[in-house]
Structure 1
């Protein structure tokens, strides 16, 4: 079961914080390259794919992108991030638009190739 953040985990509303200040941020993850696991028939080796527009994503949209890469549905994203379905749909639409994809299938095609 997913733990809800305690009141000490929340940041005050105001100026955006750098990604490194968010809980769960991994140092070195700001290199703006996305790592995708290869298909099983290729042995699952790591591939690196640079996507233009990734600098425009908010930290939350980057979380959504990571879940999209795992091929999660909007409903699964709502469960994972504890957000409403409408919020998940908005985040997904924003991610795809900022990265220049018309739908998640186009993103997945780039991941596989």
Structure 2
């Protein structure tokens, strides 16, 4: 999902969908950008595959709607990791505690260059 959000044009599509509050036809979305129609189609496909937009297809036309619940679930969940923690909280490591312990877990030859 974050890969889908990485491109400015895709974020702009999401903003358009969010501000309009309803679904928008692909042609309307494409007309808002200077890049080509195939480029817009690829951006919309990336957003669809990431679950950020829902698509309703009617014949040859497609209407896009922001999937707010999915966006809030993923982005909101990630933002929860950025909340301040209690200064007294201690983090416990779940990994090996020494180089020797790490070597025991690493299969032979997996670190060769």
TM bracket, shorter-chain basis: 0.3 to 0.5
- TM-score where L is the length of structure 2: 0.38
Larger radius of gyration: 2
